[in-house]
Amino acid sequence: MSARTRGRAWWMDALFMVGSFCFALGAVPGFASAVAPNTVVAVFFVGSLFFTSAATLQYLQTTEGQLWAWQPADLAWAAALIQLVGTLWFNVNTAAARLTGLDAQQENLRVWTPDYLGSVCFLVASLLAVNTLSRPPWRAGRPWRVAGLNLLGSVFFMAAAIAAFVLPDTGDLLDASVANSGTLLGALCFLVAARIEITPSA
Closest CA to 47 of 118, 151, 128: 118
Q: What is the residue extent of each domain of the chain?
A: 3-198
Mind listing the pLDDT tens digit for each residue in 27-55?
A: 998 898 889 889 999 999 999 999 999 99
pTM above 0.85, yes or no: yes
Residues 6+ apart with CB under 8 A from 17: 191, 194, 195, 198
Residues 6+ apart with CB under 8 A from 111: 93, 96, 97, 99, 102
Mind listing the pLDDT tens digit for each residue in 69-114?
A: 888 889 999 999 999 999 999 999 999 998 888 889 999 999 999 9
Res 4: pLDDT: 63
Res 201: pLDDT: 62
Res 81: pLDDT: 96
Residue 141 region by backbone torsions, left for phi larger than 0, else alpha for psi between -120 and 50, else beta: left
Mean pLDDT of all residues in 170-197: 94
Res 68: pLDDT: 86
Query: Is the model's pLDDT at 1 over the cut of 60?
Result: no
Residues 6+ apart with CB under 8 A from 126: 79, 83, 147, 150, 151, 153, 154
Res 170: pLDDT: 87
Query: Is the model's pLDDT at 19 over the cut of 90?
Result: yes
Higher pLDDT, 98 or 7: 98
Confidence of residue 64 (pLDDT cuts 50, 70, 90): confident
Average per-residue pLDDT for the chain: 90
Residues 6+ apart with CB under 8 A from 56: 84
DSSP bridge partners of 173: 166
The answer to whether the CB of 12 falls within 8 A of the CB of 54 is: yes
Mind listing the pLDDT tens digit for each residue in 130-181?
A: 998 876 665 667 888 899 999 999 999 999 999 999 999 888 899 999 999 9
**DSSP-based helix, strand, coil % in the chain, nearest 5:** 75, 0, 25
DSSP letters along 11-27, please? HHHHHHHHHHHHHHHHH
The answer to whether the CB of 60 falls within 8 A of the CB of 8 is: yes
